[in-house]
Amino acid sequence: MTSSRTSPGTIDLGHQGFGAMRLRENDSSDPDRDPFRVIGAALDAGVRMIDTADAYQNEDLVGRAIAPHRDDVVLASKFGLVWHDDVTGNFDIRADAEYVRQACEASLRRLRTDRIDLYYLHHRSETIPIEETVGAMADLIAAGNIGAIGLSNVTAEDLRRAHAVHPVAALQEQWSLSERSIENTLAQTAAALGITVVAHSPTSHGALHGSTSDEREDDPRQAALREIAAAHDASVGQIALAWVHSRGPSFGGDVVPLPGTTRVGHARANVAAASINLAPTELARLSDTWSTNA
Ligand SMILES: NC(=O)c1ccc[n+]([C@@H]2O[C@H](COP(=O)([O-])OP(=O)(O)OC[C@H]3O[C@@H](n4cnc5c(N)ncnc54)[C@H](OP(=O)(O)O)[C@@H]3O)[C@@H](O)[C@H]2O)c1
């Protein structure tokens, strides 16, 4: 693997990232659930980018898990989403320049590193102009604290305004067969500006792995996934993930899917999905059936 230290705006995120949001310390004796092994397995399988956030409250764990591999990892974190009481409750958005500096300093400490390779604003602010936030992030690049700027949960207008202040390397938004709002305008704007889309929750928080009990046998969307999966000797979740990989070429931009898991076996299976080549007819069938509610 090559070094992650590239110039701002042109960071190499690899073909597929690893989302660490759900990783927690655990005392399970099951090696498949060991968070250190999970991250190690993803990296061994070829993942470069490990994604966390201060709001996930696991930067300390992620920092320790990537430490032995630090030079081979593109470390991504986020700031700005501040929980009120607990991680499932309401949140505030902090995006003022002073907060950006404080949040980065705290994340660097927890992550035990001197640089976050890709640093995201986690969610747009209704009160702080994006220019102020991105200006402060540009200062962090100049100081060597972060390598590149990312934005998440923003509008196309935010993206344009931010990119005019400093090149934005990545846009992180949800993108899956069942969540395609990004295809309305954001994906096109990102492609036009040369910004890589990091597609989070590419299996819709796991729903597309097909383990839900409310699936109907005659649902054409599930039938498409099942039949295409059988043809490729793959799981339905792997096919859903392979479909997200296909969206880059469809939109003329770069798309890096960001699945997350807490299991070693699932980490390997998700990386393997990136090598599945779906035929144009299969892609069209998936796109068509999943564009309507069954
Ligand atoms: N920017 C944002 O606002 C935002 C929001 C949400 C998420 N994210 C990022 O996106 C990443 C992924 O999001 P996500 O976890 O919500 O969605 P996801 O990757 O679509 O789904 C994760 C779920 O799928 C299961 N799973 C994963 N691989 C599997 C496999 N091969 N077979 C069967 N089940 C599998 C996981 O369970 P197991 O643990 O048992 O495998 C987990 O329940 C996060 O880690 C985070 O980095 C960003």
- 64-95 pLDDT, tens digit per residue, is 999 999 999 999 999 999 998 766 678 999 99
> Mean pLDDT by 10-residue block, N- to C-terminus, for the chain (294 residues)?
46 96 91 96 98 98 97 97 81 96 98 98 98 98 98 98 98 98 96 97 96 68 97 98 96 96 98 98 97 69
Pocket test for ligand 1, best of 118, 175, 263, 268 (most atoms within 8 A of CB): 263
Domain layout of the chain by residue ranges: 18-214+248-276
Verify whether ligand 1 is closer than 6 Å to residue 124 (CB atom): no
- How far is the centre of ligand 1, averaged over its atoms, from the C-alpha of 139 (Å)? 32
Verify whether ligand 1 is closer than 6 Å to residue 209 (CB atom): yes
- The answer to whether residue 119 is catalytic is no
- How far is the centre of ligand 1, averaged over its atoms, from the C-alpha of 258 (Å)? 8
pTM recorded for the entire structure: 0.95
| 82 within 8 A of 94, measured Cβ to Cβ | yes
Phi, then psi, of 82 in degrees rounded to 5: -115, 115
- Looking at this protein, which amino acid is placed at residue 132? E
Please give the pLDDT value at position 111: 98
Look at the domain 18-214+248-276 and name its fold. TIM Barrel (3.20.20)
For residue 51, give the nearest of 112, 122, 109, 114 by alpha carbon: 122
Please give the pLDDT value at position 210: 83
